[in-house]
Amino acid sequence: MTDYSLKKLFWKRFKKNKLAIAGGIVVLLLFIIALSADFISPHDPSDIDRKHILEAPGAAHPLGTDDLGRDVLSRMIYGSRISLAVGFVAVGIATFIGMIFGAISGYYGKWTDRIIMRIIDIMLSIPTFFLILAVIAFIGPGIWNIMIVIGLTSWMGVARLVRAEFLSLKEREFVLAARAVGASDMRIIFGHIMVNSMAPVFVSAILGVASAILVESALSFLGIGITPPTPSWGNILTLGKDNIEIAWWLSVFPGIAILITVLSYNLVGEGLQDALDPRLWGSGE
Residue 237: CB partners within 8 Å, gap ≥ 6?
A: 217, 220, 221, 250, 251, 254, 255, 258
126: DSSP letter: S
Per-residue confidence (pLDDT) for residue 134, from 0 to 100: 83
Q: What is the pLDDT of residues 11-68, one digit of tens each?
A: 777 788 889 899 999 999 999 999 999 999 888 888 888 888 888 898 888 999 988 8
**Partners of 71 in the beta sheet?**
65
Per-residue confidence (pLDDT) for residue 140, from 0 to 100: 79
| Dihedral (Cα; 209, 210, 216, 220), 10-degree rounding | 150
Per-residue confidence (pLDDT) for residue 72, from 0 to 100: 92
Q: Report pTM.
A: 0.85
Residues 165, 170, 174, 175, CA torsion sign? positive
How many CB atoms are located within 10 Å of the residue 96 CB?
13
Question: What domains can you pick out in the chain, each with its CATH number?
Answer: 15-35+72-275 (1.10.3720.10)
Per-residue confidence (pLDDT) for residue 284, from 0 to 100: 47
Per-residue confidence (pLDDT) for residue 130, from 0 to 100: 83
Cis peptide before 229 (omega within 30 of 0): yes
- Rounded CA separation 53/57 (Å): 12
Q: Phi and psi dihedrals of 71, rounded to 5?
A: -70, 120
Q: By CB neighbour count within 10 A (0-12 exposed, 13-18 middle, 19+ buried), where does 216 fall?
A: buried
Residue ranges in the chain modelled with pLDDT below 70: 1-7, 277-285
Per-residue confidence (pLDDT) for residue 224, from 0 to 100: 82
